[in-house]
Structure 1
Amino acid sequence: MAYRCDLGGERHRFPDLKAVLAAASPLRSGDELAGLAAASDAMRVAARTVLADLPLKTFLTEAVVPYEEDEVTRLIIDGHDAAAFAPVSHLTVGGFRDWLLGPEADAATLAALAPGLTPEMVAAVSKLMRLQDLVVVARRCRVTTAFRTTIGLPGRLATRLQPNHPADDPRGVAASVIDGLLYGAGDAVIGINPASDDVETAIALTTMLDEMRQHYAIPTQTCVLTHVTNALAIIERGAPVDLVFQSVAGTEAANRGFGIDLAVLAEAHDAARSLNRGTVGDNAMYFETGQGSALSADAHHGVDQQTVEARAYAVARAFRPLLVNTVVGFIGPEYLYDGKQITRAGLEDHFCGKLLGLPMGCDVCYTNHAEADQDDMDGLMLLLTQAGCSFLITVPGSDDVMLNYQSLSFHDLLALRSLFGVRAAPEFEAWLDRMGMGAPEGPARLLEAPHPSLARLFDRGDAAR
């Protein structure tokens, strides 16, 4: 179905719904690369005018990726909850924006609504919102998940402690883990991106992390972010897997590029839950996403990158994850060119994920060839914390020495807790108190009986120096 808009003496025509969505998006380099971006600001305003007047029901009858060709579309349509959708089913996209910003849209109402929303609906309404609007609505959304810690409670901000090492050296990884724990990081997950993706390395790292967790009696979960099929092999070998990780995308073709489909994710979900390793909950999956992944695989079906990204959240939602995060600036300036685009995308992703009922976090990051710097990341981390982000990723010194990109540091976590009064997950906070981490002399207690991996690094001579 074609859409038209006369605006300022110009007539703008959009051949279908995905063209409207693409032209309505704020400018970003990925949509320009794909030839989908609005040709002018006037065209962008016209597309937003069309979008604002579209009934939300349109997204249930006009698919941006054909139902017959794509299992993600089938998941979205077949899993739609009509009863949950009913309270807003009469609204247009513009009317939905107004409703979201009004007093009726409280936490309980938004939680009940989530199963009735499709990714395309939330992507559409996000395109009509300012940054302020994205923060205001996302802050009202409360999504709580649990494994050994409880994620997403009001007034809490969890962190992933990311101790990557360029050679997967267990001692180097262990040193980074201790570094992060001393700053109070790690309540969302202690998660390693392995430099090598072989099963033996992943088993060694998984075992080491679990030994450290048990040695210090840390109430958290660990994860080696290897491919889901490797995780299945690791589980079969009897290694102590807490969370199963996988990067996911918003189309079947893009997921095939990752070497996955919905069936293998379901198999992994069942395998992870069968281990019964959680103590306060059973959410056992961890997913990462990022704007531009489908385009980079030439698997976007002519859909703008932000809408495709929102469709990835439908995949994640199907498997009740403990954690989902967008790696917002990681894919590079070809998709998000500068700090302005990264900031907008991070807030869009967080908003869309939370509105769809996901425990949404963010890797506030950029690559060194992007037109961005740490000042941009400071702004985004402050906005996301104000927006009620479930968790952020932190690395030693803001610099991931294995993946070669810039993220947030453990120090940033302390700044956010001081500025906003946000606290760690309750189970982890209690552990920090038991370890005396709130007192100036507290960190020494963590080093009194170091894990064997750190025995030489933290012997008495090194500690004194």
Structure 2
Amino acid sequence: MSDHQPKARHAIDLGGTRWTFPDLRTLLARATPLRSGDQLAGLAAETAVERIAAQMLLADLPLSVFLNEIVVPYEACEVSRAIIDDHDAAAFSPIRSLTVGGLREWLLGPMATPERLAALRPGLTPEMVAAVSKIMRLQDLIAVAAKCQVTTAFRTTLGLPGRLATRLQPNHPTDDDRGIAAALFDGLLAGAGDAVIGVNPATDGVEDYTRVCRLLDEVRLRLDAPVQHCCLGHVTTAIEAIGRGAPVDLVFQSIAGSEAANRGFGVDLAILAEAHQAGLSLNRGTVGRNVMYFETGQGSALSADAHHGVDQQTMEARAYAVARRFDPLIVNTVVGFIGPEYLYDGKQITRAGLEDHFCGKLLGLPMGVDVCYTNHADADQDDMDALLTLLAQAGVTFVITVPGADDVMLNYQSLSYHDALYIRGVTGRRHAPEFEDWLTRVGLLDRDGRLTDGSAALSALRPALSLIGSAA
């Protein structure tokens, strides 16, 4: 694959002005709905008219162009090589004659059944999927994502129709065992945790990583609960801990859409492959063998100065090509976590969350969202309520929940355990089936699937509740 590919010039007359975009990378950037990160990088359209001109040109662009012009050079980036080398021409064949606009119409039409969407996945590149998202309204993103079905499993089965899982995030600013355990039980009493019980450690040493894993595993074993846990340390820490015999369920890593950005995270595809094999070697799953957990977020490549002049949403979609190589149990975008420099306000966060979910699901990932914002962003919990409600309608695999919607370790605002109760109540979304059975068995759910006051469950939970008082 040559680094010196011919670059097409794209031009259109609109509003008495001839708009010209020198290459695909520029066209994609100018067509992107407004966001602060692209403005910061000098990539955004300067006017709404320029954006519309770029979107019109993008809609008429043949999908085959994305296989001939790569936004990050093939020779310079292993993510680009993975995208091109993994592309399945046979899967692409049914849509190879379409334009980006034609793909949008096909996706929204009756021919795009869950089965056909699943068959199409290997034929789609992240850039194709990012491009079509740029000319879609929010309702389009929701409608198509809702048709995409991606199912994974470890101790619970995720992504089934009519289901919504949650990550229970019992973080503590000093990784105190009692603090983690208390927040964990608070979440379990509210029915959270069927996607994963995941702790972001305050440190990244192997000893602390192993201690957190052992604590989470002790809770699981004492409760006989079908959950998977994860200490979100660096992937190399997980590999070393596995070698020392730590009870690791899921192996976690933050990833991005370029080799250079991933290098900033301290990883490459070879390290991720090693971690994947290490996780599989433990054979700890009961209903499935998906052992990887990835987090992404628009703006990560830009913040690392590793975006190659590509807009942040297209770079985000490229991260999904990395994720799908390793058959993850779950993936989530931390949509508002990186800050207002990249997504300025609630409107931009909402758009980005739905874009990321759409792109991830269309590419075949079990996509979740951390519905969140930082305290210096122009956003609030009303924005998060709206995004949560829209994502539920879009069939999001899971969302992240923290005590009181306020993460005391990472210092940002997310969803609370009770926000998950709200969305289950208004949409009828149920827990993962194995976890739902456990909640019913211990008395946290009644026969109609409604959360109880927990009093009937105290005897079942008591063997593990002692960890709050006895943990060192």
Q: Same fold (TM over 0.5)?
A: yes
Do the aligned partners of 2:223 and 2:461 also contact (CA within 8 Å) in 1? Answer: no
For residues 281 and 361 of structure 2, the distance between their equivalents in structure 1, rounded to whole angstroms, comes to 27
Q: Taking structure 2 as the reference length, what is the TM-score of the superposition? A: 0.96
Distance in 1 separating the partners of 2:461 and 2:371: 30
After TM superposition, the structure 1 = structure 2 runs for residues 52-63 of structure 1, keeping only pairs within 5 Å, are: 52-63=59-70
| Residues in 2 aligned to 1:78 and 1:451: alpha-carbon distance in whole angstroms | 50
How many residues matched? 457
1:109 alignment partner, one of 103, 116, 122: 116
Asked if residue 374 in structure 1 is aligned to residue 381 in structure 2, the reply is yes
Residue by residue over 1:74-98, the C-alpha shift from the partner in whole angstroms, topping out at 9 and shown as x without a partner, is 0000000111111111100000000
Q: Shift in Å at residue 449 of structure 1? A: 2.9
Looking at structure 2, the residues matched to 448 and 354 of structure 1 have their Cα atoms a distance apart, in angstroms, of 39
What is the aligned counterpart of 1:276 among 276, 283, 303? 283
Aligned match of 1:450:
464
- The answer to whether residue 199 in structure 2 is matched with residue 192 in structure 1 is yes
| Structure 1 partner of 2:362 | 355
Alignment root-mean-square deviation, CA:
0.9
Match for residue 288 of structure 1 among 287, 295, 310: 295
Give distance in 2, aligned partners of 1:201 and 1:153: 34
- Does 1:140 find its partner at 2:140? no
2:219 aligned partner: 212
CA distance in 2, matches of 1:81, 1:445: 54
CA distance in 2, matches of 1:246, 1:379: 28
* Structure 1 residue 446 displacement after superposition: 4.4
User: Separation in 2 of the partners of 1:449 and 1:267?
Assistant: 36
Residue 314 of structure 1, aligned match among 321, 330, 339: 321
Determine if contact 1:19/1:303 at 8 Å carries over to the other structure. yes
User: Paired residue for 1:68?
Assistant: 75
Letter in 2 for 1:122: V
CA distance in 2, matches of 1:398, 1:139: 26
The whole-number CA distance in structure 1 between the counterparts of 2:126 and 2:459 is 47
Map 1:13-412 to 2 at 5 A: 13-412=20-419
Instruction: Kindly indicate whether the alpha-carbon contact (under 8 Å) linking 2:219 and 2:464 is maintained by their aligned counterparts in 1.
Output: no
> For 1:442, what is the secondary structure of its paired residue?
helix
What displacement does 1:287 show? 0.1
Distance 1:263 1:413 in 2: 37
- Contact residue 10 and residue 21 of structure 2 kept, 8 A: yes
Partners of 1:2 and 1:302 lie apart in 2 by 17
- The letter of the residue matching 2:182 is A
TM-score (structure 1 length as normaliser)? 0.97
Change (3 A) 1:40 1:455: same
Contact residue 215 and residue 451 of structure 1 kept, 8 A: no
Aligned amino acid, residue 287 of structure 1: F
2:178–2:469 contact (8 Å) kept in structure 1: no
Match of 2:448 in 1: none
Gaps of 5+ in 2: 1-7, 446-451
Q: Deviations over 1:171-218 (max 9, x none)?
A: 000001100000000000000000111111111000110011000011
| SS of residue in 2 equivalent to 1:449 | helix
Cα drift, residue 443 of structure 1: 4.0
Change (3 A) 1:342 1:446: farther
Q: CA deviation at 1:451?
A: 4.1
Q: 2:459 is aligned with what amino acid?
A: R
In structure 2, the residue matched to 1:460 is none
Report if aligned partners of 1:5, 1:11 keep a CA contact under 8 Å in 2: yes
Structure 1: stretches of 5+ with no match in the other structure: 458-465
Q: Secondary structure at the match of 2:19?
A: strand
Q: Distance in 1 between matches of 2:79 and 2:461?
A: 48
In the TM superposition, residue 444 of structure 1 has moved relative to its aligned partner by 2.6
Residues 336 and 342 of structure 1 are in contact (CA less than 8 Å); yes or no, is this contact kept in structure 2? yes
| Deviation sequence 1:139-181 (CA, Å, 0-9, x none) | 0000000000000000000000000000100000000110000
Task: Return the alpha-carbon distance in structure 2 between the equivalents of residues 50 and 231 of structure 1.
Answer: 46
Q: How far apart, CA to CA, are the structure 1 residues paired with 2:443 and 2:53?
A: 58
Give the match for residue 427 of structure 2: 420
Match for 1:144: what amino acid?
Answer: T
Q: Distance in 1 between matches of 2:443 and 2:463?
A: 14
Q: Is the 2:28–2:311 Cα contact (8 Å) retained in structure 1?
A: yes
Tell me the distance in 2 between the aligned counterparts of 1:58 and 1:319: 27
